[in-house]
Structure 1
């Protein structure tokens, strides 16, 4: 089975918007054990669309086409597909009635331009869109099925789950079995991880893959076929022995979601206060991306200058004078100050020099101090984040802080050794 994707839209091709649909779709296919063979992006030009539909139909079994189903003149997917088939467009009466009902139900006028969305290639099979007015459809050309979906993410994702995946499984019920395992790692670069894993004997039909998204690297183990799937558990244990100390999640794509899950899955509520300086609220923002974070996150204080550190968190003036804002002593007082104000179980603090200016010989740009305090204990460290720019330094700082909390929640030592992060204390 060969599945491809054609992404349409001038704004996508020119880089005006990031094609999140394509990234999401590829990931969903992998989660279902399906590998996408190719992805092509084409602009809103009729002949270009016709050409790519015809050309790829000679190579793929199924092609998902995303975008170009709206009511405006630059939405050309249906027209291009009709011309590729050498047939006219025809009104789909069922979809016209659906649209008229949708607009009436939502007390909105239906403009004449919307009728375009009911015009499909004559041989098309309508694909229902349960959350929008853009009609999906599928057409067979040169032995390939082209499956058309709207570009609006909510509509697209709904149709992939409810329409596209069932169609794929119906068309290829005997497709080769696959199994995918993904682990999120932190603390080692792609080359360092590859060095460890290259020494292993990889069973036949198991592929080891890497996806870097600073400051993390995702490890993918893909087994194709029943024999490879049977060999996967033993090989997984070998991988875990080789790089397990770098794995921060075996179930989620972000470290923040792993920490969120650890906090919300506990039998008793564990509460957290944050005190951030150089990260400017990044840790809090990462956690509140997930519903239910109010269960444990009591507060997040951004104390950017020294006055705020003293007034909001109770950092002693003598601490700042003697040790500076980027020090074990300062972040320990920041963390305890945040924790004690609302009597939370943990306090987590970060203070650092994100650059590009502000560094000194003793504390160069990239120097970051972090502290985690519980009701009974304090863990603190100063690290030197890799110099890859202000944003990257803040991202690494955020990841180290979250990993300290993750380790503490698991009963492990929050202070860890990371391959690409130097610990200065």
Structure 2
């Protein structure tokens, strides 16, 4: 089955917003064994919409159309589809009743413009939207079924999960003929990963792919066909053994998610003291519901004074070693850990740039410490090759999480990452 996606909207086409919907859809379909073969982005222009519907419907079996179902004049998807099929828009009495009930239940007066959302192409089959005012619909045109979804992410995701995936599986017989495993890596580039894995002999039907989302790179193991699917776990194990320490998860999309999974319901606690990362460590954990079960507190101790007064860092330590030093982050980590007697504590201090570097401590130099209750302190100072402030902070956060992950697994906390230079203490 050939599945494509058409993304609509001037703001998407012009790069004013990042099209996260398309990335989510592609990943979701791959999870159920369906590969997205093409994606087209088109602006809010009637002739362009009609043209792309006519063109792609001759080649695809199923097309997901995302966006353009709102009540305003620039929401043109339904009318463009009707024009492409040379048919009229007709009002869905069912959806009009749903709209009127929704506004009445919320004690609001429905704007007249919302009635536009009940106007569908004559041949359309309504697709329910239980969390919004824009219904979806599907239409058969030429070779393809076109499946229209709202642009609002949480509405689109619910429709894909509850309506689209059952539709292609049940009605079109789309079965999982493909599978994918993903390995999350840090500390090595795409080309180096590929070079390192080039010697592996892969069974027929299995391919490797790479996706960069710095500081992470996903190594993807694709299997097409049942024979290849039967081999995918063994191949994944071979890839993991080949890459070694750079593989940091085989189940989660980030180390923050990995840490959250490890600490949730563990009964263990964590505290954080951040300087150069500026709250990024705590923020990434707080993105996940339930993080309050283990994250006791996060302090951004950016100034030397705050390090001394809040964390108990000795002024002499700062004078002798500087804020970016092993000694300082060790005292930061132990200081924040003892505030509430946490089981673990992370501390970071570094030079994120673009200024502030020296010959001995250039921009990208970061010290990280992990304090473990009754287990001492693990620390290291790294120099990251990138000089962009956000990337230095993100890489520092990832390494800090990996140190904690390794401690939780009772593995060596300090390891070498090929692209990150570890400085001697």
Structure 1 residue 227 corresponds to structure 2 residue 227:
yes
Superposed CA offset, 1:279-324 (max 9, x none): 1111011111111111111111111111111111111111111111
Match of 1:384 in 2: 383
Aligned equivalents of 2:387 and 2:53: distance in 1?
41
1:404 paired residue number: 403
Q: State the partner residue of 2:300.
A: 302
Out of 336, 348, 351, the residue aligned to residue 334 of structure 2 is 336
- Identify the residue that residue 393 of structure 1 maps to in structure 2: 392
Partner of 1:97: 97
Question: What is the match of residue 64 of structure 2?
Answer: 64
Secondary structure of the 1:28 match is: helix
Task: Name the CA distance, whole Å, in 1 between partners of 2:4 and 2:174.
Answer: 19
* TM-fit CA distance, 1:109: 0.9
For 2:152 and 2:233, how far apart are their aligned partners in 1? 39
Matches within 5 A, 1:269-308: 269-308=267-306
Larger CA deviation: 303-312 vs 236-245 = 236-245
Task: Tell me the secondary structure at the aligned position of residue 37 of structure 2.
Answer: strand
Q: Tell me by how many angstroms 1:363 deviates.
A: 0.9
SS of the residue 2:289 aligns to: coil
Q: Deviations over 1:401-420 (max 9, x none)?
A: 11110100000111010010
Corresponding residue number in structure 2 for 1:86: 86
Does structure 2 retain, via aligned residues, the 8 Å contact 1:69–1:78?
yes
Question: 1:96 deviation in Å?
Answer: 1.1
Runs of 4+ in 1 over 6 A off after TM superposition: none
Q: 1:359 aligns with which of 342, 357, 360?
A: 357
CA deviation after TM superposition for structure 1 residue 192, in Å: 1.6
Alpha-carbon distance in structure 2 between the residues aligned to 1:244 and 1:5: 37
> 8 Å contact 1:3–1:63 — kept in the other structure?
yes
Across the aligned residues of Structure 1 and Structure 2, the Cα RMSD in angstroms comes to: 1.1
TM-score for the superposition, normalised by structure 2: 0.97
| 1:160–1:109 Cα change, 3 Å | same
Runs of 5+ unmatched residues, structure 2: none
5+ unaligned residues in a row in structure 1: which ranges?
none
- Residue 55 of structure 2 aligns to a residue in which SS? helix
Partners of 1:211 and 1:30 lie apart in 2 by 14
- Normalising by structure 1, we get a TM-score of 0.97
Cα deviation digits, residues 261-293 of structure 1 (max 9, x gap): 111142xx1111111111111101111111111
1:80-99 CA distances to partner (integer Å, 9 max, x unpaired)?
Answer: 00110011111111111111
1:325 corresponds, among 323, 326, 334, to 323
- Matched length: 423
Structure 1 residues 174 and 270: alpha-carbon distance in aligned structure 2, compared to 1, 3 A threshold: closer
- Counterpart CA distance in 1 for 2:170 and 2:65 is 19
Contact 1:356 1:389 (C-alpha < 8 Å) held by counterparts = yes
Aligned-residue offset at 1:174: 5.4
Equivalent residue number for residue 2 of structure 2: 2
- 1:14-42 per-residue CA deviation (whole Å, 9 max, x = no partner) reads 11211111111111111111100100111
5 Å matches for 1:17-416?
A: 17-173=17-173, 175=175, 177-266=177-266, 269-376=267-374, 377-416=376-415
